[in-house]
Chains A and B, each alone.
Chain A
Amino acid sequence: MDTNQLEQNFDAKLARNESIEPKDWMPDNYRKHLIRQISQHAHSEIVGMLPEGNWITRAPSLRRKMVLLAKVQDEGGHGLYLYSAAETLNISREELIDQLLTGKAKYSSIFNYPSLTWADIGAIGWLVDGAAIMNQVMLQRTSYGPYARAMVRICKEESFHQRQGYEIMTVLAKGTAEQKAMAQDALNRWWWPSLMMFGPPDEKSPNTANAIKWKIKRETNDELRQKFVNQTFPQADIIGLKLPDPDLKWNESKGGFDFGTPNWEEFYNIIAGNGPCNKARISARTKAHNEGAWVREAANAYAEKKKAVLA
């Protein structure tokens, strides 16, 4: 079959909403786009463990500590599902990790903000996981089979993540004046970065057109962002917190909220490596990777020895 025909088959498959599987022919750019997106997603899960990991030892009760540990462990698992999905596109785990540690691959810019107080753990679960879920629910129908299947598993696990965060916020918001102020402060700091998680506005997003054409994404950045604002407003309202946006108001004609513009300059600046925690995050990952080297070496030596015994 010539390339033209293969390409036609590929397009026809997408048109029929059939998933593309690892051994199917696919255009080079589709493969590249997926490797970039899936690995970026995997790295975000792994780096995302750091701001929350920061609070595991200081969780205010044993219950909260158990929950946070389980949540952070899930995120590690999500990273592994996604690395496996990326590997089906012919890139090795070593290469993927190397790209993260050398800064060649990106991860979600939100994890470059510090988690300053216990309320941040509430805000992260509620807003950051909430925004991630919105994106991931859509990705359950993404055109690449292994990615879609990983998303189905991830979405099942995510629902407790958002609830545990919202529960923390609820308790703080109902607590003393200081506790409520702490919750509001965390919301103020995490709100705009959460909106940025959906990516730049559609007209400035270089990858959106292809992602939609290839059915990798089914909704655009702006559509998802709008949904997120609509969904989050009543959640804040019910627990007596205020979204920190003076332009936020209900727009009857579109059946949704109008809202202000995130500070995109800040967003691009963080992506360029200049966020408050970029350096700390990558050095923590590099340290973990290097300090784990002996485990991989020992496992290798063990596998070699076993092979020798069997031979």
Chain B
Amino acid sequence: MAQDNQGMLWEVFIQTKPGQPHRHCGSVHGHDRELALQNARDVYTRRNEGTNLWVVPSNLIVASSPEDIGPFFEPANDKVYRHPTFYTIPEGITHM
């Protein structure tokens, strides 16, 4: 098999409108940041899908591991007082 390096792998994030968060949409290969950005534009935004693009080297993304889903997110579970519904307020109160 021919060894032809296709360049690094980059994850692509699109912001669809100003003010919106950037969302992951897939990945591209690219030999450097400019090429990665141009490839991402050509592959993922042929119909004005975005106002802004991020490309991030895939190997720099640190992800939590799916097996630890329980213990990793567990600390949030017993803190119901972080939600507004935890609190009792007198009837008739609005805008709160």
A contact residues vs B (CB 8 Å cutoff): 1, 21, 23-25, 73-74, 77, 80-81, 84-85, 87-88, 92-95, 98, 146, 149-150, 153, 157, 293, 296-297, 299-300, 302-303, 306
Q: Which of B2-32 contact A (CB under 8 A)?
A: 2-7, 9, 25-29, 31-32
Q: Are A296 and B5 in contact (CB under 8 A)?
A: yes
CB distance from A92 to the nearest CB of B (A): 8
Q: Are B32 and A73 in contact (CB under 8 A)?
A: no
* Interface presence of B66 (CB below 8 A): yes
Q: Are A21 and B1 in contact (CB under 8 A)?
A: no
Q: Tell me which of B7, B9, B27 contacts A299 (CB under 8 A).
A: B7
Q: Are B29 and A74 in contact (CB under 8 A)?
A: no
* Interface presence of B65 (CB below 8 A): yes
Q: Are A299 and B35 in contact (CB under 8 A)?
A: yes
- Place the interface of chain B in its size category: 20 to 34
* Interface presence of B79 (CB below 8 A): no
Contacts of B67 in A (CB 8 A): 1, 25
Q: Are A85 and B26 in contact (CB under 8 A)?
A: yes
CB distance from B66 to the nearest CB of A (A): 5
Q: Are A84 and B66 in contact (CB under 8 A)?
A: no
CB distance from B53 to the nearest CB of A (A): 15
* Interface presence of B76 (CB below 8 A): no
Contacts of A297 in B (CB 8 A): 4
Q: Are A93 and B32 in contact (CB under 8 A)?
A: no
Is chain A's binding surface mostly helix, strand, loop or mixed?
helix
CB distance from A176 to the nearest CB of B (A): 36
Q: Are A303 and B28 in contact (CB under 8 A)?
A: no
Q: Are A77 and B46 in contact (CB under 8 A)?
A: yes
Contacts of B63 in A (CB 8 A): 23
Given contact pairs A84-B26, A150-B26, A153-B25, A98 touches B2 in the complex (Cβ within 8 A): yes
Contacts of A1 in B (CB 8 A): 67
Q: Tell me which of B4, B31, B65 contacts A293 (CB under 8 A).
A: B4
Besides A296-B4, A303-B31, 5 more A-B contacts (Cβ < 8 Å) are A21-B66, A80-B43, A81-B26, A94-B2, A299-B7
* Interface presence of B83 (CB below 8 A): no
Closest to B5 in A: A300
Q: Are B29 and A93 in contact (CB under 8 A)?
A: yes
Q: How far is the CA of A149 from the CA of B1 in the complex (A)?
A: 30
CB distance from A302 to the nearest CB of B (A): 6
For this complex, 27 residue pairs linking A to B, each with C-beta atoms less than 8 Å apart, are A23-B63, A23-B65, A24-B66, A73-B46, A74-B46, A77-B42, A80-B28, A81-B43, A84-B27, A87-B9, A88-B27, A93-B6, A94-B3, A95-B1, A153-B26, A157-B46, A157-B47, A296-B6, A297-B4, A299-B7, A299-B35, A300-B31, A302-B31, A302-B32, A303-B7, A303-B31, A303-B32
The interface bits of chain B over 31-70 (1 if a CB of A lies within 8 angstroms of the residue's CB, else 0) are: 1100100000011101100000000000000010111000
Q: Are A84 and B28 in contact (CB under 8 A)?
A: yes
Contacts of A25 in B (CB 8 A): 66-67
CB distance from A221 to the nearest CB of B (A): 28
Closest to B33 in A: A306
Q: How far is the CA of A88 from the CA of B63 in the complex (A)?
A: 14
Q: How far is the CA of A93 from the CA of B66 in the complex (A)?
A: 25
What 7 A-B pairs have minimum CB-CB distances, sorted nearest first? A303-B31, A299-B31, A98-B1, A84-B27, A24-B66, A93-B6, A296-B4
